Structure 1
Amino acid sequence: MVALAKKKEWSLLLLLAPALLYFLIYHFIPISGMVMAFQDYRIFGKSPFVGFKHFRILFASPAFLQVLRNTLIISFMKIVLFFPLPIIFALMLNEVRSSILRKFIQSTTYLPHFLSWVVIAGIWIAFLSPANGGLNQLREMFNLAPKDYMTDKGAIRWVLFASETWRSLGWDSIIYLAALASISPSLYESADLDGAGALQKMRYITLPELLPTMVTVFILNMGFFLNAGFDQVFNMMNDSVISVVDILDTYVYRIGLLNMQYSFSTAASLFKGVIGLVLILAAHQGSRKITGKGLW
């Protein structure tokens, strides 16, 4: 029996091996390269150690402060404002009694998640086109002048939020639908016997049962707070709106790869990683104090 158990454990480890290799190669080994943030990196020859020189330049740069501000605003919209939407969607979908209709809604809302941001950007640019886009055709029906949302600094961040919602709403609701399915039906049966209404059952059964999942997802999302979405922003950004949508990831790409300032861009990337870790720890401690539940 012991030998069979050990054999089964090895088979599970083999199944896990590709994922472990992925994180080892693309996440753990590259950490050693963070030393470039403290050097004047040279491709050939020895790279001299310069301490916090690049961090001082980074924090004194007006461009970096603007990029950081853009990142915080866009991340707040895409994480904090978006956070309750998959929960609401999962609760509404859970109330659909027709299995055929429920499966149809799930399939149509999951589909955008599997599209690349290149394709999604093309769809939204066409939809918002001032010449023949669907939204502007709708505006014309109400005698409103066409508007170029993709070059409007006041609208572009909401375009990013809307396109992220369209892509992720259905997919992100899966974890909440799974949590809803795990709630014991006996709780609802007892509530029915006590005469509880739909809102009371949601308030006293559904939401408390969902709380651990909500807390875990929120804390994990905080670690990505400064990851405002490179693929999305890069494909939807243009010169007219770069001042309000240029984020840390696009800044690092431009400075590091295009301008070849490797040490400077590594310092910016390391700053982002440290802030992400601090936010996870802060969210965990705050959750433990407020709800008694945390990530661990």
Structure 2
Amino acid sequence: MLRLDDLEVLVQAAELGSLSAAAREMDITPAVASLAIKRLEAELKLRLLVRSTRSLRLTAEGAHYLVHAKTALNALRAGEAELNQQRQRIAGELTISMPSDVGRNLLLGWFDDFVADHPELRLRLRISDRLSDFYRQPVDLALRYGVPEDSSLVALPLLTDNHRLLCAAPAYLERHGAPATPADLSQHNCLRFVLGDRLHDRWRFGDQTVQVNGDRSSDDADCVRRWAVNGHGIAYKSALDIQADLAAGRLRALLPDWPTEATPLYLVCAHRLSLTPAVTALRSYLQQRLERYRAGKSALQP
């Protein structure tokens, strides 16, 4: 198997007329340079250079092969330069996974605006509450609540002070009243979320955990929110997911004096090398939009 650095030694030695000069140019020792030529000659089963302590010349075979070696190295350098140029542009394709609720009802419109500002970028959106597997699925980025359990992933904070809120529709509260303490939830119909095979039926309020029950559960967080808005029960939702519903009076926050679970929002990728200019620009854009939205400005206002 030919090594690219061995080809580089051959090209430098031929151009400079000296293996020692080639070694100095490449910041390697003459012994390493000599070994590179020996590997090439062994792999090709040809003599490429005739050399002594003071002189060096190409054999006929070496001169013929040098043309191809230069062509190969130039092509690779051109490919690397093109990739570097592309990496500096907000272009290409990004596959992004995001939660159902905030994805459909908030981020979808924001992504439309981002693509309109960067027409060379193409987005593929995967809206699902299932956690993405970066090693098995074609996903570049994921927006997720909570710090990933896999410490090898890169998690970039977008909204660190987000938390859950207990909420219900006015119609439900008129029929059943509001809980005065977390323990009162045992007397209410609680709308539960399923993630994977896990039913989230233990809701935390500070150091107190309450086992809840109800007649509905779903693996789609947006479905749980819609049930709550339609008056079917009490939900325990991310504040970001229900901000518009609270502002419009479709939902009311319950037990406001009780501490609730933190649900920070992160932009997650598999490796630092994934942080292209497009990803960096997208993160900055989302942070600005989230800041404006949390401040009470319109979700549609750029």
Indicate whether the TM-score tops 0.5. no
TM-score range, shorter chain: under 0.3
Q: Which has a greater percent of helix?
A: 1
Instruction: Looking at secondary structure, tell me which structure has more strand per residue.
Output: 2
| TM-score of the pair, normalised by structure 1 | 0.21
Q: Which has the higher contact order (CA 8 A, sep 6+)?
A: 1
TM-score (norm 2): 0.21
> Which of structures 1 and 2 has the bigger CA Rg?
2
